[in-house]
Amino acid sequence: MFPILTVMVALPALGAGLLWALPSASRARVREVALAVTAVELALAVALFIQFDTATAGTFQFSETYAWIPQIGASWALGINGIGLLMIVLASLLTPLAILAGWWEDKDPARRTHYLALILLSQAFMVGIFAARDVFLFYVLFEAMLIPLYFLIGSFGGAQRRYAAVKFLLYSLVGGLIMLVGVVALYFQGPGGEQAFLTDNLTGLTMSSTAERLIFLAFFLAFAIKAPMVPLHTWLPTVAENARPGTTALLVAVLDKIGTFGMLTLCVALFPNAARWAAPVIIVLAVISVIYGALLAIGQVNMLRLVSFTSVSHFGIMVLGIFAFTQTSIEGSALYMFNHGLSTGALFLVVGFLIHRHGTPDVTAYGGLQKVVPVFAGTFLVIGLSALALPGLSPFVSEIMVLVGAFSVAKAGVIVAAVGVVLAALYVLLTYQKVFTGPTPEAMRGTRELTLRERLVLWPLVGLMLVLGFLPGIAIDTLREPSADIVATVSIEEAGE
Amino acid sequence: MSFVTPVIAWAPLAPIIIVLGAAAIGILVEAFIRTPATRRAAQLALALASLVGAALVAILQWATLDGAGTVVLEHMMVVDRQALAWQSVLLLFGVLGTLLFAARTRAGEEAFTPLGAVAPGSTEETLARRKGMQLTEVFPLALFAVGGMMLFTSVTDLIFLFVALEVFSLPLYILVALARRRRLLSHEGALKYFLLGAFSSALFLFGAALLYGATGSTSFDEVGAGIASATGLDTLILAGAVLVVVGLLFKLGAVPFHSWTPDAYQGAPTPVTAFMGAATKAAATAALIRLVYGALYGLDWELSWLFWTVAIASMLLGTVVALVQTELKRMLAYSSIAHAGFILVAFAGFPDSTLSALPFYLLTYGLATMGAFAVITQVRERGEDGTVLGEATRLGQWAGLGRRSPWLAASMALFLLSFAGIPLTAGFVGKFVAFSAAMSEGAWPLVLVAVIASAAAAFFYVRLIVLMFFTDVPDGQEDAVAVDYSPLARVVVVAAAVAVVLLGIVPGPVLSAFENAGVLLLGAAG
Amino acid sequence: MVNPLLFWIIAALTVIPSLSLLFARKAVHVAMAIVLVMVGLAAAYVALGAPFLGVVQIVVYTGAVMMLFLFVLMLVGVDQREDLKETIKGQRWIGLLAAGGLGAFLVSVVARVALPVQEETVGEPDVIAEVLFQRYVLVIEVLGFLLITAAVGALVLTHAPRLKPRRTQLEVQRDRVRVGANPVNKPMPGVYARHNALDVPALDPEGQPIEDSVSRVLKIRHQTQDGAEFRAQLEDPARKDTEEGR
Amino acid sequence: MDPINFVILAAILFAIGSAAVLLRRNAIIAFMGVELMLNAANLSLVSFSRIHGEIDGQVMAFFVMVVAAAEVVVGLAIIIAVFRARQTISLDEPSELKG
Amino acid sequence: MLDLTWLLIAVPLASSIVLMLAGKRANPWGHWVGVAASGSTFIVGLGAFIQMLGLDSEERAHAVHLFSWIPGGELNLDAGLLVDPLSMTFVLLVSFVGTLIHVYSVAYMEHDPNRRIFFAYLNLFVAAMLLLVLADSYLLLFVGWEGVGLASYLLIGFWNYKPEYATAAKKAFVVNRIGDIGLIIAMGLMFAYLGAVDFETVFAEAPAASTATLTAIGLTLLLAACGKSAQFPLQSWLGDAMAGPTPVSALIHAATMVTAGVYLIVRSAPIYAGAPAAQTAVAAVGAFTLVLGALIGMAKDDIKKALAASTMSQIGYMMLAAGLGPVGYAFAIFHLVTHGFFKAGMFLGAGSVMHGMKDQVDMRRYGALRTAMVTTWITFGLGWLAILGIPPFSGFWSKDKIIESAFVGEGAQPWILGGAALIGAGLTAFYMSRLFFMTFHGKARWTDDQHPHESPAMMTVPMIILAVGSAFLGLILAVGDRFAVWLEPVTGHVEHHEPVLPVPVLIAATLILVALGVWVAWRKYGAADVPETAPAASLSTIAARNDMFQDSVNRAVFERPGTHLTRTLVYADAAIVDAAVDKQAEAWGKTGETVRRTQNGQVRSYALTMLVGLVIVIIIVVQGGL
C-alpha cells in the first residue's frame, strides 16, 4: 500500500529542506515553491479524505508500521481515525492559506526563505503528530515541533518576540518534559518489547490506579498547556501579540489542537479510569477557562491578545466536551477542534490584514471602517460571528453539541459555560463596534479594501464554515465511530471497576 | 615462598596498550625530533593513529567478544563489553579532542601556550611565540589521559582505580594550565583543579583504606563479598563506601563536589575543556557503575540516599547557577554539573538498564559537549587592528552570530538543544534511556525533578540561541567578533553535529550495541 | 600487638607536629614539622610489621617528597609569610567544624570496630615483592606511565629552553660600557673585622656610606644596617668600651 | 595495643590534613595538608594490613607513596608556574575565576 | 405546496446572499429582488395554507424532511420543517406583513445609499424568521432564533456610523444572547432527560418526564422567550432597538420577531402541560411586563419608544395568555396576529410621520398632524382603536379574550393576573391615546423647518392594508372561534372555563377602564396644550421615562461589576497568573545569584564546600541507612 501518511509527513519536511537548499539566486521564487508544496499536501489531504472509509472511521486507516527504535519500543507507526483525519485536513488547509496571507511579509528573500521553510517544517510535524499511532513518536514530534515554532516566533514578529518565544518554549517544555515522565512510566506499565509504544498495545492496560492517575496527569498537563487552559494560558496572548498573524493562526488553529487531540486520543483513551477520576476537576477548570478567557477577551484592547483569549475560552469548551464523556459532547469537541481551526485561523488572519494596513493591533485606534471597506467589514463580521458560534456557521454545531451533550454529566458546568455564549457576543461585537462602526476617523479613510489575495485566503474558510454549518455531517460522519469507541472505553472500564 | 607468574590476558588490553604505548613513544618523539613543525605533525599523526587504531581494536573486540568478557588479571582488572563500550566512547572523544588540540586559527595560533614554563606576559613568552615554539607534549599527555580513563573503566580494584585515577588526572591538571591566552586564569584553574583533585583523591583513598579494613581486600569482588558477609562493620563499610563514591563523584562534577568544575572549565584551554568535559564524565561514570554494581551493590539502600541527594542537588544547583552566568564556558560548566545530576538519576534504584543507558547518555552528552566547545574555539574576539584574539566567551559577544555565520550558529544551537534534551537530537534519546532506567525502579519523583530542572535549564540554552539568532549585532560591535574557521575544529563540529542528529533520529543500532554492553563480568547486577 | 608506649610516642610525634599545618606561619616550619611526622609514620610502619615500608617512607617522603617541598619553598622564597587572619567570613569556624566533624565521625566509626587481629605477616621486601609482582603487577606497570606523566608535566610547566643565545662575559661587559654604567665591580660592603657585616655599607673616603655596596636583596629585606651607626661607634670610644666589656 | 588505634590516629591526622586544606592560604601548606591526608590513609592501610595479617595493605601503601610522589611533582610544578606568573603562592590571589 | 415550504426559507435567503454579494451594480434593482423574494414567500405560504385548509384538522401537521443535519451517534438530528396550523399562522403573518413592509421600505429607504444591503438584511430576517417558526426541532428553531437576532442586530445597527446606534444593536444582540442561554440549557435538559431535541420526540417523551425536569425546561424556555420577546427582566434592549430604520421596528420589533418568545412557549405546550409552576411563571412574567410596559409607555415622548413600550406590554398580554396554558394559547397567538397587524401599521404610521417630519421622533414637537397627513392619521387611528380593544376592531377580539382567560382559575391567581390585565387595558388606552393625540391632535408644535406632508403611495398603501387588517381581521377570525379551532391541532381542544367574574362584567369593566384612559389622555394631551419640552415630573414619571431605570439597574448590577471584574481579571492575569510564572523564573534567577556567591573563587572555600557536603552526605546516608 502506498504510504501516503509518511509521504505527507515527509513532503513538507523535504520542501523545507529544498527551500533552504535553493541557491540565493532562485530565492525570489520561494513563496511559489512553498505554496506548491502545501498545495500538493492539501491535494493529498483531500485524497486522504476521499479515500477514508467512514464506515470504519473508528479504526486506524492508512496504517503504516515500521520499526524505528525497537530497542526502546518505538515504532514509526502512522495511521488515522476520523479525528486524526480531520486534523490533518485542517493542517493541510491552513498552511497554504497562512503562506498566502503572509505573501508580502518579508522583503528580504533570505528571511522569507527561513520563514517559509520553518512553516513547512511545522506542517510536517503537525501532520506527523496527528497521524502518530505510537506514543513515543507522538511525543518526539510533539516536542520537536517546538523548535521550528520557537524560531518562527522568535525571529519573525513584534517587539517582544524574543520574550514570547522563550515563554512559549519554556511553557511547552515544562509540560512536555513532565509528559516525558509519563511516557517513560507508561512504557513500564505496558507490554514492553519492540512495539511497546504502539497505542494499540497501550490501550486497555491494567495498572494500579495511582500509576494510572499520575501518568494521566503527566500527559494532561502537557496538553493543558498546549490547549491553553487557565491558569496555564498566559503564554498564548504573549505569543499571539508578538508573532506574525500567520504564525499565530497556525499555532492556535492547528497546533494547539494537539492539546485537545492528545487529551482525546491519549489521555482519555489510554487512561480511562484516571480520566474519569479527574474529569470533575478538569470540567471545572474547563468551565473556568471558558468564562475567564471570555472575560479577559472583553478586557483587551489588543486585538491579537483578544483573539487569543477567545481561544482560551473556546478551548475550555472543547475540554469540557471531552471530559463529559458522552458521545455527543465528544463528537462536538472533535468537531469543534476542526471548526475552531477554521474560525480562529480566519480571525487571526483577518486581524492580521487589518494590522497590516494600519500597523497597530490596538482596537482603539480604529473606527468607522464599515463605511470605508464594507467587504472587509462584512468578512470580519462573519468571521467574528463564527467565533461567537452563530448558528449557520460551523462552530455553532460543535459548540451546541458540546453543551447539549455535556449537560447530562455536568449541569452546573454547562450552565456556567453557557454564560460564555453571552460573553462571546460581547467581545466579538464590542470589537466590531469599535473597529468598524461609529464615525470614521481621518486616519482610517484611505484604508484599502480586502484585496484579491486576502479574499482568496479568507473566503474559502468562510465558505467552509457555512457549508459545515449546514452540513456538519461531512465531518461528523468521521467522528461518530471514534467518539463511540472512546465513550465505550471509558464506560467499559467503569463497568469493570 | 615460590613466585607464581601472574596470568595476564594481554589481548584484551590491546587498546589500552596501544594508547599508553603511543603516549610513551610520543615522549620519545619529543626528545628526538627537534623541528617544531615536524614534531607536531608526528605527534598528531601518532596520536590520531593510535587512538583510531585502538578504537578499531576495541570495537572489534567488542563485536567479537564471546560471553561477557575476559578477566585480565584476577581481582584487578576485567575487560568486558561494558568496558569496551566505554573505551570506544572514550577513544572517540580522544580522537575528537586530539583534533581540537591540533586546531589552529587561520593566523596559525594554537590553543596552547608555546612554552609553559615562562611567565605570562614576559618577554620570553613573546620570544617563544615569535620563534614558533609549540608545546607538542600536549598530545602524549592527552594520550596518557585517554589511557588512564580507559583503565579507569576496566579496573576492579580500589587501589588500581586510584592509580588509574591519577594516571588520567595528572595529565589533565597539566593540560589545564597550558592555555595560550588568559594564562593567569589557566594557571588558576589548574591550581584549583589540582588541589581539589588531590584532596578528593585523598578522600577516595581513605575510603578505600576503610573498605580494606572492613573487608580485607580492595578488589571489587572481594569487597562485595565482604560487605555481604561482614557483621558489626556497617558504619565502617558505609563510611568507606561514601568516601570512595565521593571521590568518583568529584570527577563526575556532582554537587557538592562540583566546585572545581566551573573554574577549571573556564580556565582551561577550550580544547582541553571539551575533552575534559566529555571524557572525564564518561570515565567517572564508568568507574562509578563498576564500583557500585561490582562492589557496593549490597549497600544499595544506603547509597540510594546518597545518589538521590546528590542527584537532586546537582541538577538544581547546576541549573540555577547556570541561569545567571554570562560567561559561556562557565555556563556550560554549570550545565555539566546539572548533567552530572541527570547521570546520577539513572542510578536510582540501581537497575540493570543503567548499564546500557549511561554509556549511551554519556556518548550523546560528550558529542554535544565536544561540538559546543569546538564551536567556541572558533568564535573569537577581534582587536582594534583586526587581528584575531582569544575566544569570545562573554554571552553578549555572541549576539547576531546566526547572521554572521549561520551554519556554525545552527550547529551550536543543535548542541544546545541536545543538552536541553529536545527530541530529534541525541540528547533526547540519551535522557530518555537514562530516565527510563530510573523509572524502571519507580524513581519517578527523582525523574520529575530532573525534567523540571531540564526545563529550567532550557532557559539558558535557549538564551544563547536567542542571542545568536534573534538579536542583532550591537551597533559598533560589527567587527568585534570574528569567526575563525579552523578546518580541524570544523571537522569536530561537523562530526559531532552529524552524530547528534543521527543519534537523535536513528539511535537504534547504537542503542542495540550498548544494550549488548549492559552486562558486567563481575558484579552483583547482571 | 604494638607496645602502647611506642604508640603514644608515635602519636605524639605525628599529631603534634602536624598541628603546625594549622598554626605555623612559616611554610618552612610546617615543612620541617611534616618531615617529623613522616619519620613518625615510618616508625609506625615498622611497629606495624612493615619495615620495608618504613624505610620507603623515609626515603620517599622525608628524602624526596618533603625535600622537594622545601626546594620549592626555597625557590618561591622562604619568606612567603602567611597572615593567619581569615579573610572569608565563617570559613575558619565552619572549616574547623567540618574537618573536626569528619575526624570525629571517622574516629567514632573506627573506635567502634572490633576486628580480630590476625597473626603478623612482616612486610619484608621479598614478601612484598612477591605480592607486588603477582597480584599487583599491572598496577606497577601503569605506575610507570604515571611517573612519565609527572616528569613530562614538571618539564612542561617549569623547564624553559634557552630562548636567547647565551651571553658571554664579553657581551655583558660591552653592554655595560655602552649604557655608561659602572664598568668595574661595585664597592665591597663595609666588612669590619669585628663584624661580618655584609649588611653594612662601606664608607667612602668622606665617611659617607656607599649604598651600592650592600646587596640589593638585603635592602629589600630590610636587613641592612646603617653605616653611620658603626661610624658613631668608631668615634665614641666609650660605647666601644662597653661593647668590648660585654 | 590493638593496631586499630593506629587507624584512629590516622583518622585524626586525616582530619588535621583536611583542615589544613580548608584553612591555609599558602598553596604549599595546603598541599602539604593533602600529603598528610594521603599519609593518614597509608597509615590506616598499613594498620589494617597488620590487623588482617596480610601484606596487601602494605603494597597498597607503597603504591600510594609512588602516586603521591608523582602528584607532588605535578602539583609543585603548577605551583611554581603560578608563582612565576604572580610572584606569590597565596591562594587568595588567584581568584578571578568565580561566580 | 406543503412540500415546497422549504422555499419559504430558501428564496429569501438566496435573495439575501445575492444582494449582499452582488455589489454596487445591483443597487438600481436590488430592492425589487428583495420585495419579490418576500412576496414569493407569501405566495408560497398562501398556497400551502390553501392546501392545508383542504386537509382534515388531524392531518394538518405536515413534516418536511430536508436533510440529515447532525448525524451524531446519539444526537442524530435531521433538518426538517414542521408545517402545522401554528407555524402556518406565523408564515402568513410574517410573509404578509413582511412583504408589505418591504414595499414600504422601497420608498422609505429611497435615499439611503445602502438600500440594497437593507433589503438583503430584511430578506435574511424573513428567511430566519420563517426558519424559526417552521423548524421541526428546537435546535433548528435555534438557528432561526439566532438568525433573526443577527438580522435584528444588523438592522438596528444599519446606521451604525452613529455610535449610539451601534451600541443599541450590540445591546439587542447581547441581551438576546442571555435569553439564548435559556434555550441552550433547555436543549441540554431535553437531550439529557428526553433524549432528543426535535419536537416530535420531545413532545412524545414529555408526558413521561418528571415535573421537575419539565419545570426546568419550561423555565429555561421562558428565559429564552423573555430575551427574544423583551419580557421582564430582559426587556431593556427593545427601546434602544428603535435606533433601526422604522420599517425594521415595524417588522421585527413589533410584528414578528419579538413575538417569537410567545411562539416558543405555545410551541412547547406539551412541556408546559407537565409543568404548572413554569406555566405560572410565564403568566406572571407576562402580567408584570404588560403593566411595566404600559407604565413606561405612559411617560415616553419618543414616538417609537412609546410604541416599543407598547409592544412590550402587548407581548406581555400574549405571554400572560400563553402562561395560562391551553386556555390561553390560542388567544395568545390570536392577539399576536392582530397585534402584528395593528402594531406594524402604527409603526409604519410613525415612520410616515417621521418621514414627513424630517426624522423628528419627539411627540412634543408633533401635534395637529391629522390635517397634514390624512392617510396616516386614519390608518394610525384604526390601529389605535384596535389596540385599545374597542369593539369591533381586532384588538378587542383578541385582548378581551385574554383578559377573560386571565380571570379563569382558582385562588388568588385569577385576581392578580386578571387584575393586571384589566389595569393594563386601562393604561394602554391612556398611553396610546396620549400618543395618538399628541401626534395628530392638539396644536402644531413643529420646528420652523418642518413641513409635514403625506408620504408617497408606496408607503401609504401598506399602511392602508395593515389598517384594514387592524380593523377587521379580529372580527373575521373570531367568528365562531375560527382561529381557536384552526389552532386546535397544536394547542389542543379545551373546554370552556368560566372566569371568576362573569364575562359581560369583564367586558364592561374593560371598556370602562379604556374609556377612562382615553378620556384622561384627551384631557391632558388632546384638549390641553402640550409643552414642547418635557416638564419636570414626579419620581414615578421619571422612572417610567427612564424605562423604570432598567438600564441603570443593568449597569449597576451587571455592567459595572462586569467591567470591574473584567478589569480586575485583566490585571490579575498579568499580575498574578502570568506573574506567578515570571516571578518563579525570577526566583530561579535570584537563587542562582545567591548560590553563585558560594563559588567565591577561593579554593579553600571550595574544599570546604566539598567537606561540608561530605559530612552532610554522610549524615544522610547513615541516617537513611540505619
* Residue range A319-345, pLDDT digits in tens: 999 999 888 899 999 999 999 999 999
List the single range of A218-227, E372-381, E491-500, E555-564 with lowest mean pLDDT.
E491-500
Beta-bridged to residue B80, according to DSSP, are B69
What was the pLDDT predicted at B248? Answer: 94
Strand-strand pairing, A74-80 and B69-73:
unpaired
Nearest to B455 among A161, A173, A187 (CB): A173
Nearest CB neighbour to D15, from listed C57, C100, C149: C100
C-alpha cell at E165: 446606534
Contact D96/E at CB under 8 A: yes
State the residue range of the domain holding E612. 556-624
Domain boundaries, chain A: 1-265, 271-497
| Highest-pLDDT range among A211-220, B108-117, D84-93 | A211-220
Domain check: are E361 and E495 in the same one? yes
Lowest mean pLDDT segment, chosen from A24-28, A223-227, B306-310, E611-615:
A24-28
For residue E15, being part of any structural domain is answered with: no
CA distances from C73 to B196, C32, C221, D26, E203 (A): 21, 11, 17, 11, 107
**CB pair distance less than 8 Å for E601 and D24:** no
**3-state SS of chain B: helix, strand, coil percent to 5?**
70, 5, 25
Q: Which three cell numbers stand for residue A447?
A: 484604508
The band of C246, judged by pLDDT with boundaries at 50, 70 and 90, is very low
Computed over every residue of chain E, the mean pLDDT equals 83
> What is the rounded average pLDDT of the residues C122-141?
88
Q: Is D57 on the interface with B (CB under 8 A)?
A: yes
| In-domain check, residue E328 | no
Write down which chains contact chain B via at least 3 CB pairs under 8 A.
Answer: A, C, D, E
Compare CB distances from C149 to B4, B6, B167 and report the shortest one's residue.
B167
Q: Which residue of E has its CA nearest to D98?
A: E601
Judge whether E213 and E189 are in contact, CB under 8 Å: yes
Q: Residue A211 — left, alpha, or beta (φ > 0 → left; ψ -120 to 50 → alpha)?
A: alpha
Measured CA to CA, the distance from residue B204 to residue C38 in angstroms comes to: 21
Structure-model confidence comparison of residues C102 and A230, the more confident one? C102
What is the reported pLDDT for C115?
A: 83
Flag whether residue E573 sits within 8 Å of chain A, measured between CB atoms. Answer: yes
Angle at B458 between CA B457 and CA B464, to 5 degrees: 105
Per-residue pLDDT at E373: 81
Q: Cβ-count burial of A335 within 10 angstroms (0-12 exposed, 13-18 middle, 19+ buried)?
A: buried
Q: Angle formed by the axes of helices B426-440 and B353-378, to 10°?
A: 150
Half-sphere exposure of E95 (CA within 13 A, CB side): 31
Q: How far is D8 from chain E (nearest CA, A)?
A: 18
Q: Same structural domain for residues E445 and E508?
A: yes
C101: chain E residues, CB-CB within 8 Å: 615
Asked if residues B368 and B500 have their Cβ atoms less than 8 Å apart, the reply is: yes
Residue B317 to residue B457: CA distance in whole angstroms: 11
Question: How many beta carbons lie within 10 A of that of residue A445, not counting itself?
Answer: 11
Residue pair E60/E117 in contact by the 8 Å Cβ criterion: no
pLDDT at C84 over 90: no
Say if residues B59 and B152 touch (Cβ distance below 8 Å): no
CA distance, residue C105 to nearest chain E CA (Å): 9
Q: Do chains D and E touch (3 or more CB pairs under 8 A)?
A: yes
Both E404 and E522 in one domain: the answer is: yes
Residues in contact with E619: Cβ distance below 8 Å, sequence separation at least 6, in sequence order = none
Grid coordinates in use for E272? 408546559
The tally of CA atoms less than 13 A away on the side-chain side of residue A452 is 0
Interface C:D, Cβ pairs < 8 A? 246
Contact A290, A320 (CB under 8 A): yes
For A122, A244, A399, the CA distances from A249, given in Å and listed in that order, are 13, 8, 20
Name the pairing type of β-strands E76-83 and E62-71.
Answer: antiparallel
Exposed/middle/buried for residue B44 (C-beta within 10 Å: 0-12, 13-18, 19+): middle
Question: Cis link prior to C125 (omega < 30° from 0)?
Answer: no
Residue E148 belongs to a domain: no
Mutation target among C122, C138, C157, C159 for the B interface, most CBs of B within 10 A: C138
Greatest mean pLDDT among A178-187, B336-345, C198-207, E117-126 lies in: B336-345
**For residue E534, which of E405, E317, E363, E410 has the smallest C-alpha distance?**
E363
Half-sphere exposure of A69 (CA within 13 A, CB side): 25
Kindly report, residue by residue over E552-609, the tens digit of the pLDDT: 777 777 778 888 888 888 888 888 888 888 888 888 888 888 888 888 888 889 999 9
Q: Which three cell numbers stand for residue A172?
A: 511547552
Is residue A497 very low, low, confident or very high in pLDDT (cuts 50, 70, 90)? very low
| Confidence class for position C236, pLDDT limits 50, 70, 90 | low
DSSP letters spanning B439-493: HHTT-HHHHHHHHHHHHHHHHHHHHHHIIIIISPPPTT-TTTEEE---HHHHHHH
Kindly state the DSSP code that residue E481 receives in the 8-state scheme: G
Task: Give the per-residue pLDDT at B413.
Answer: 94
Taking contacts as CB-CB distances below 8 angstroms, the residues of chain E near C91 are 602, 604-605, 608
Q: List Cβ neighbours of E296 (8 Å cut-off, separation of 6 or more).
A: E239, E309, E312, E544, E547, E548
Q: Given its phi and psi angles, is residue B10 left (phi above 0), alpha (psi -120 to 50 degrees) or beta?
A: alpha
Phi then psi for residue A63, to 5 deg, are: -70, 140
Instruction: Give yes or no for a contact between A352 and A245, defined as CB atoms under 8 angstroms apart.
Output: yes
Please give the pLDDT value at position E324.
Answer: 83
How much is the pLDDT for A494?
56
Same domain as E565, residue E529: no
User: In the prediction, which pLDDT does C167 show?
Assistant: 79
- Set of chain B residues whose Cβ sits within 8 Å of the Cβ of C124: none
Domains by residue range for chain D, with CATH = 4-86 (1.10.287.3510)
Yes or no, beta carbons of E73 and A368 under 8 Å apart: no
pLDDT band for position C139 (50/70/90)?
very high
- Report the alpha-carbon distance of residue A398 to residue A271 in Å, rounded: 25
CB E427 within 8 A of CB E510: no
Return the residue of E nearest to A229 by Cα: E577
Is residue B68 pLDDT above 80, yes or no?
no
CB-based contact A362:E122 (threshold 8 Å): no
Dihedral sign for Cα atoms in the order C175, C180, C185, C188: negative
Which amino acid, A434? Answer: K
Q: Is the dihedral of CA E274, E276, E277, E283 positive or negative?
A: positive
Interface test with E, best of B200, B204, B321 (most E CBs within 10 A): B321
Residue C12: partners with Cβ closer than 8 Å, 6 or more residues away: none
Three-state SS for E157? helix
- Do residues A33 and A46 touch, judged by C-beta distance below 8 A? no
Q: How many domains does chain E have?
A: 2
The answer to whether residue D82 neighbours chain C at the CB level (below 8 Å) is no
Please indicate whether, in this complex, the C-beta atoms of D95 and E602 are within 8 angstroms of each other.
yes
Residue C94, SS3 per DSSP = helix
Contacts of A344 (CB under 8 A, 6+ apart): A249, A252, A253, A307, A310, A311, A314, A387
- Closest C-alpha to A486, from A338, A337, A327: A327
pLDDT at site A334: 92
- On chain B, the residues whose CB falls within 8 A of the CB of E622 are 235, 238, 302
List C-alpha distances in Å: E563 to A294, A298, A438.
12, 9, 21
Q: What is the pLDDT of residues B157-212, one digit of tens each?
A: 999 999 999 999 999 999 999 998 888 899 999 999 999 999 999 999 999 999 99
In a domain, E507, yes or no: yes
Tell me the pLDDT tens digit for each residue of D12-69: 999 999 999 998 888 999 999 999 999 999 999 999 999 998 888 999 999 999 999 9
Does C69 contact D72 at a Cβ distance shorter than 8 Å?
A: yes
Is B167 within 8 Å of C133 when comparing Cβ atoms? no
Rounded to the nearest angstrom, the minimum Cα separation between A136 and chain E is 29
Q: How far apart are CA E460 and CA E468, in angstroms?
A: 12
- DSSP assigned state of A146: H
Q: Is the dihedral of CA E417, E423, E426, E429 positive or negative?
A: negative
Could you tell me the pLDDT band of residue C239, with boundaries at 50, 70 and 90? Answer: low
Torsion angle of C-alpha atoms E183, E188, E193, E196, degrees rounded to 10: 80
Does residue E277 form part of some domain?
A: no
pLDDT number for residue E257: 83
- Classify residue C19 as exposed, middle or buried by CB count within 10 Å of its CB (0-12, 13-18, 19+): middle
Measured from the Cβ of residue C237, the count of other Cβ atoms closer than 10 Å reads: 10
The answer to whether residues D81 and C157 touch, using CB atoms and an 8 Å cutoff, is: yes
CB contact under 8 A, B508 and A68: yes
Backbone angles phi, psi at E614, to 5 degrees: -60, -45
State the amino acid at position B512 in one-letter form.
S
> For E151-205, how does the pLDDT look when each residue is reduced to its tens digit (9 = 90+)?
888 888 888 888 888 888 888 888 888 888 888 888 888 888 888 888 888 888 8
What local confidence, expressed as pLDDT, does residue C195 receive? 55
The whole-angstrom distance between A403's CA and the closest CA on chain E is: 7
Quick check: E161 contacting A, CB < 8 Å? yes
Task: Encode pLDDT of A453-473 as tens digits.
Answer: 889 889 999 999 999 988 888
Q: Could you give the CA distance from residue E501 to residue E514 in angstroms, rounded to a whole number?
A: 18
Mean pLDDT of C179-203: 68
Q: Which of E535, E565, E599 is where one domain is finished?
A: E535
Over residues E307-312, mean pLDDT: 85
From the list C22, C86, C116, the residue facing D20 with the nearest CB is C22
pLDDT bracket for residue E516 (50, 70, 90): confident
Whether CATH 3.40.50.920 fits C1-77+122-136:
no
Domain ranges of chain C: 1-77+122-136, 187-245
D82 interface with E at CB cutoff 8 Å: no
pLDDT of residue C245: 46
B146 to each of B264, C53, E242, how far by Cα in Å? 18, 31, 90
Q: Which residues of A touch B501 (CB under 8 A)?
A: none
C95/E604 CB distance under 8 A: yes
**Cβ–Cβ gap C72/D76 under 8 Å:** yes
> Nearest by CB to A426, which of E69, E165, E174?
E174
**What's this model's pTM, rounded to 2 decimal places?**
0.89
Lowest mean pLDDT among C144-148, C180-184, E248-252: C180-184
